[in-house]
Structure 1
């Protein structure tokens, strides 16, 4: 953040003067707690989906919207983060989002029908979408280039503790107190985050500038983006659960809407107005490749986050508490891997780190094909650990590799755009996994909820994991293009240099 701002209360200059050089780490820790709460709310509910389905007598497709509704809301909200930060500043934006997350958690736990549960999940998703791009902006503004990898690693280690410990505690809570209890897990994190926000988060906008009360949101672009996302996801669902005609109409509508969105964003740029998504970002080759990796990686990651607990419970007949316990060692390994890779990201090419992570992630998915009812628990833990080591290589490296070349004024837009595309891939991935799973179950002539598990049902899950393997291999092609090419004159990143505080 800029250090030449007048030392008014709540500005970066005043906070640095009060807390000294350690302030940037205190700020990082403050936003880390809120991000942990938002990520926990996105992942912990997966262990409760079977219980929620039984409680409200839902089919698999409708229950899937507990996850998909959150993902769609998060995806859309991410694109609004640059405007909200410019309009209201860091502190007001962050506090407002955390309050919405807190309200969603309480409402979900108290809901007495599924529509209210879904509304609470959407509210949590909107909050998470605004919060999650903020740490990357802070890291690139507040830390020197040689510290950014370490900061990303430390931040990542803290953030993954939530999904590492969350499913284990959540599984126990579901078994002991029922599915409602998992919604309340975000409450202490939100309260702690609000307290720290008023101490450490500045009131200014990115770069240390004062918030601009006249900043205008691109409502037309937001409407087009929302419509395109909903048409895409519903079209994917209709591909299997509905009619071919309805699927074709929705997917064509999605393509037309996204084309209109791109046209409108270009028009705003040409007329000097601020678009929802600044298309100048895609003039940076590394950023463009990073976005492609982020989309495919999001598809595989979030699709598997939905698929794995369902497989362990309905495929291998394990309890929710067993599922959480099995995933705990993998989460701990991930928390250890991320800071180590973060330090490597300050010295090693990010395309090598991201490619290594995708390879390990693909391998962990591919080996799931060989899992059966006789597979030992140690093998399931080993596969989960392998996949989390892969994630540990990707998480602190991808954003840095894609965003380091960006001009300073594009950092906020870059963080929200790459996050948007990752979450769009994730929302599509959840739907895609549901579609492929239902397809393969039908091909094997078995149902997901009828009776005890059997080899045919497990084979359907294995084939769905194989699809995720192929997606990771596809992302490897784009990941290799993250490498720096200083001799490429057409690449703006060759001349822009690193971002400094």
Structure 2
């Protein structure tokens, strides 16, 4: 992954007046559209799955496929920028995002929707790094911190607006409109960016691309993601399809690693993992993001399926995540100057662990305040999460290595989010089945509690024994799902504690705070 622009190219003069305000707003709007789309579908999965006639687990592929495609597109951003120019690429990516969003909205079946989501994920790849680059040229150099604060606030407001907006649209109109909403927003952003920035285009030049590396990258990422998404349905490695996908992914990944380590101009510079800070920071941020993102996906599903919340109510329960994240984002620059990034990252991981421990005590009778409080508190470690870890990852690298390092760490992080979602969804299902089996073992005529529950159901519902038994069975299913989810929360809390040492194998980082904000991202 090469730097988006050549070091010899002069930076355009900052914008002023109305052009400055409108240009910054349009670039930020495109970022917001992208970030919003990564969370807006979370609360719509149960409704979407029902309308398309698929299971909720299959509906989750709508999220994982987008994330996997987004991850694959990131390594191409540097090459595409130099080949096309950053303004043309940014506007083109917005328009492709708009087209793919419209295709998502009209999709008549899950395969068509997944294909459109893959296209949407590919289009989203260049939007985050290029939005940062354009904002940095919009503001005067001495106000680069303000530019990045605007970007950070735009990126973090997505978790507030996404679930609530997605829930309201799904309940009031149709899940298709969570995608259609991107069309007018994207067209406006693309038109304004082109009108204001087209005379500030970066130079384009023909560059070779690591075709073999790119094909092998797509091969192992696609095979691994399909294997994870289809594994449960096909009974994992008892299925020849899953075995074939696993073998193909393993062989292609091994080839990819060998090729990228020996290629003259690799699409992914794997040699960066020889740097202690890059290795420790990237593994830490990727594992943490995998747990963080996966829980954001499965929590609204449980709230809707087993607590009976509407989509909009589930969105409002999960929306407070962004409150503290937005409030603390402008302070991160000053905090990074005074506090070791490793301490901030450790505080973030400890905070996440505490939040998941709180959630691991949920019951099927949980009230709304108890649901909202951990989500609200989760905004604090979220604000302390991204920038310090990115500072650690980029510290000690020469300027020519920072774009490659930022691109590679973002690729690993985003793909880890897709993998983590698949693994945690499968783990939740497995734990639910286990707890259900244990509960059923106790559901017999010798168990006084079971007999009382059955009698109470008959008298309360005024139904026969068979209907009462079905009612009790439904309650056992909800209880099993709750116990399974508590296991996931508890496991998530433990993982956040276990990965703290990864932060402390790195060296202190004081020189990369600015570069972290510029090259990192949510």
CA distance in 2, matches of 1:485, 1:334: 23
Where do 1:329-348 residues align within 5 Å? 329-348=320-339
* Match in the other structure for 2:301: 310
State the TM-score, normalized to the length of structure 1: 0.85
Change (3 A) 1:296 1:103: same
CA distance in 2, matches of 1:187, 1:499: 29
Question: How far has the Cα of 1:299 moved from its partner?
Answer: 1.0
CA distance in 1, matches of 2:107, 2:352: 37
* Match in the other structure for 1:244: 237
1:375 to 361, 366, 380: 366
RMSD: 3.2
Question: How far has the Cα of 1:404 moved from its partner?
Answer: 4.5
Change (3 A) 1:118 1:239: closer
CA distance in 2, matches of 1:402, 1:380: 34
What number of residue pairs does the alignment pair up? 474
1:32 to 25, 28, 32: 28
SS of the equivalent of 1:58 reads coil
Question: How far has the Cα of 1:90 moved from its partner?
Answer: 0.9
Change (3 A) 1:308 1:498: closer
1:326 to 317, 322, 340: 317
* Match in the other structure for 2:282: 291
CA distance in 1, matches of 2:424, 2:108: 28
* Match in the other structure for 2:445: none
Asked if structure 1 preserves the Cα contact closer than 8 Å seen for 2:148 and 2:518, the reply is no
Asked if structure 2 preserves the Cα contact closer than 8 Å seen for 1:316 and 1:372, the reply is no
* Match in the other structure for 2:171: 175
CA distance in 1, matches of 2:128, 2:165: 23
1:224 to 216, 222, 246: 216
Worse overlay, 109-118 or 229-238: 229-238
* Match in the other structure for 1:79: 75
Change (3 A) 1:123 1:472: same
* Match in the other structure for 1:268: 263
Change (3 A) 1:380 1:168: same
Change (3 A) 1:109 1:231: closer
Where do 1:431-450 residues align within 5 Å? 431-445=422-436
Asked if structure 2 preserves the Cα contact closer than 8 Å seen for 1:171 and 1:324, the reply is yes
* Match in the other structure for 2:504: 480
* Match in the other structure for 1:462: 486
Question: How far has the Cα of 1:161 moved from its partner?
Answer: 1.4
CA distance in 1, matches of 2:390, 2:26: 20
Asked if structure 2 preserves the Cα contact closer than 8 Å seen for 1:153 and 1:339, the reply is yes
Q: Does 1:120 align with 2:116?
A: yes
Q: Does 1:351 align with 2:351?
A: no
Question: How far has the Cα of 1:136 moved from its partner?
Answer: 5.3
Q: Does 1:394 align with 2:418?
A: no
2:16 to 15, 19, 31: 19
Question: How far has the Cα of 1:143 moved from its partner?
Answer: 8.6
Asked if structure 2 preserves the Cα contact closer than 8 Å seen for 1:268 and 1:275, the reply is yes
Change (3 A) 1:28 1:278: farther
* Match in the other structure for 2:207: 215
2:61 to 57, 61, 65: 65
Deviations for 1:334-386, whole angstroms, at most 9, x for unmatched residues? Answer: 21122222431243222222221121112212221111122221121110012
SS of the equivalent of 2:40 reads helix
CA distance in 1, matches of 2:375, 2:418: 22
State the TM-score, normalized to the length of structure 2: 0.82
Uncovered stretches (5+) of structure 2, i.e. residues with no partner:
441-472
Q: Does 1:194 align with 2:190?
A: yes
SS of the equivalent of 1:370 reads coil
Uncovered stretches (5+) of structure 1, i.e. residues with no partner:
7-11, 487-492
Change (3 A) 1:226 1:203: farther
* Match in the other structure for 1:424: 415
Q: Larger Cα Rg: Structure 1 or Structure 2?
A: 2
Asked if structure 1 preserves the Cα contact closer than 8 Å seen for 2:159 and 2:321, the reply is no
Asked if structure 2 preserves the Cα contact closer than 8 Å seen for 1:140 and 1:499, the reply is no
Where do 1:408-423 residues align within 5 Å? 408-423=399-414
CA distance in 1, matches of 2:414, 2:498: 18
SS of the equivalent of 2:320 reads helix
Question: How far has the Cα of 1:439 moved from its partner?
Answer: 0.5
